[in-house]
Amino acid sequence: MIYVTYGSDITKNTYDTLKASDISAYLKADYSVAIKPNLVVPGPASLGATTHPEVVEGIIQYLKDFGVKNIRIIESSWIGDSTKRAFKDCGYVSLSKKYDIPLIDLKDDDDTTLNSSGLEIDVCNEALETDFLINVPVLKAHCQTRLTCCLKNLKGCIPDSEKRRFHTIGLHKPIAQMSALIKTGYNVVDGICGDLTFEEGGNPVTSNRIIAGRDPVMVDSFCATLIGYRPEEIKHLVYAQELGVGKFYTSETELLELNVHDKSASTAKGSRIAERYSSRINEDSACSACYSALIYAIHRLDGRTSSKEKFYIGQGFKGKSGKGQGIGNCSKGFDKCVLGCPPKAIDIVKALS
């Protein structure tokens, strides 16, 4: 089961997503809960690399209303950057003070060596000893693994020495093997404005979505389709499914969408890369999720579509017809159209291919 909420009221939408979800079937009020955001670099979430503090605030509000008292935020930024600086620059110090919740820098944590399918991996104890880990990644693209979301976000739960080693032995298999060791209680994905290309941000594309679910492989495979990839194209997801970490999202997977009538029109058209495509897009009151799907799809195809082909997208095209490529249900009157509200980037890729 996957839950998706649309809209720009980040804290409320995160809270409402959890309230509507099945998290209560797994969570207990007396559990110790660790929240693991993505603070890979000390930069604002608006750049598309780090988890919005408003998402974590919505989680905290839900947990407190549920009766959970033992809550902490854990993270380790990437090699060469300071987690403590990221906590400050990303807005987590003020969040910590507001709710009296400790911030734990995993770079200072002890670790335990565990074996996963023949590979020994050192894992930070805070991630292992909590009763319930809530994984809060950013949905974004990655130059090496194509997708970084739930599974890859768990790299912040291992020491820097292990992060270096993962790169020397190939990222995909160790990410999957690590994910078999670190058990997540629930996954809440920040799909507000993830980066189009790089883990460290700079090319954000506004989507205004919160995505949640219990199964990290299912959530990641669903998220892969949102940025233009088939799940089987993401090798660490394939390996993780083989290891029994979870199952792929399929057309049979139950999907609950909230705020479907509040898919706010996009005002931010993304990054410099997104602006590159603007001359080909006829947009009229397009929703964020729909517009971002088109941007991800065009970028995924990397120029393999006709440069003369125009795209028509947005609520302003309801009831209109014409020649050209429609994107989304609002432009179904055009002679070609990729249906969906919003369509997935992978469906747009398939149609344009």
pLDDT value, residue 122: 97
Q: Which of 44-58, 71-85, 195-209, 233-247 has the lowest mean pLDDT?
A: 195-209
- The answer to whether residue 64 is domain-embedded is yes
Kindly state the average pLDDT of the residues 24-52: 95
Closest by Cα among 183, 125, 200 to 159 = 125
pLDDT value, residue 128: 97
Do 176 and 211 share a domain, yes or no?
yes
Domain boundary among 258, 292, 307: 258
What percentage of the chain reaches a pLDDT higher than 90? 65
Domain with 14 in it: what CATH number? 3.40.50.11440
Whether the CB-CB separation of 237 and 248 falls below 8 Å is answered with yes
Judged against a pLDDT cut of 50, whether residue 125 lies above it is answered with yes
Q: Which of 1-10, 16-25, 270-279, 328-337 has the lowest mean pLDDT?
A: 270-279
Q: Give 297-344 pLDDT, tens digit per residue.
A: 888 787 566 656 789 988 888 899 888 899 999 999 999 999 998 899
Q: Give 84-111 pLDDT, tens digit per residue.
A: 999 999 999 999 999 999 999 999 999 9
pLDDT value, residue 295: 82
Q: Which of 10-19, 82-91, 194-203, 271-280 has the lowest mean pLDDT?
A: 271-280
Do 168 and 311 share a domain, yes or no?
no
What percentage of the chain reaches a pLDDT higher than 70? 94
**Residue 152 corresponds to which tokens in the numbers above?**
């890859």
Q: 152 exposed, middle or buried (CB, 10 Å; 0-12, 13-18, 19+)?
A: buried
pLDDT value, residue 277: 74
Contacts of 106 (CB under 8 A, 6+ apart): 74, 75, 76, 83, 124, 126, 127, 156, 157, 159
- The answer to whether residue 22 is domain-embedded is yes
Judged against a pLDDT cut of 90, whether residue 21 lies above it is answered with yes
pLDDT value, residue 38: 96
* Separation of alpha carbons 223 and 187, rounded Å: 12
* Separation of alpha carbons 25 and 57, rounded Å: 21
Provide the pLDDT confidence category of residue 130 given band limits of 50, 70 and 90: very high
Whether the CB-CB separation of 290 and 283 falls below 8 Å is answered with no
DSSP class per residue in 14-79 = HHHHHHHSSGGGT--TTSEEEEEE--SSSS-GGGSSS--HHHHHHHHHHHHHHT--EEEEEE-PPT
pLDDT value, residue 16: 97
Mean pLDDT rounded to a whole number for the chain: 90
Q: Give 193-206 pLDDT, tens digit per residue.
A: 998 876 777 788 88
Domain boundary among 200, 224, 258: 258
Do 249 and 309 share a domain, yes or no?
no
Place of tokens 């050209």: 324
Find the domain containing 19 and state its range: 2-258
- The answer to whether residue 142 is domain-embedded is yes
pLDDT value, residue 303: 57
H-helix or E-strand spanning residue 283: strand 281-283
- The answer to whether residue 123 is domain-embedded is yes
DSSP 8-state class, residue 345: H
Do 44 and 90 share a domain, yes or no?
yes
Whether the CB-CB separation of 344 and 226 falls below 8 Å is answered with yes
pLDDT value, residue 274: 64
Kindly state the average pLDDT of the residues 47-67: 97
Do 187 and 245 share a domain, yes or no?
yes
- The answer to whether residue 17 is domain-embedded is yes
Do 141 and 285 share a domain, yes or no?
no
Judged against a pLDDT cut of 70, whether residue 267 lies above it is answered with no
* Separation of alpha carbons 212 and 126, rounded Å: 23
Q: Which one is predicted more confidently, 338 or 270?
A: 338
Looking at this protein, which amino acid is placed at residue 51?
Answer: T
For helices 288-301 and 345-352, what crossing angle results, to 10°?
50
pLDDT value, residue 18: 98
CB count within 10 Å of CB 284 equals: 15
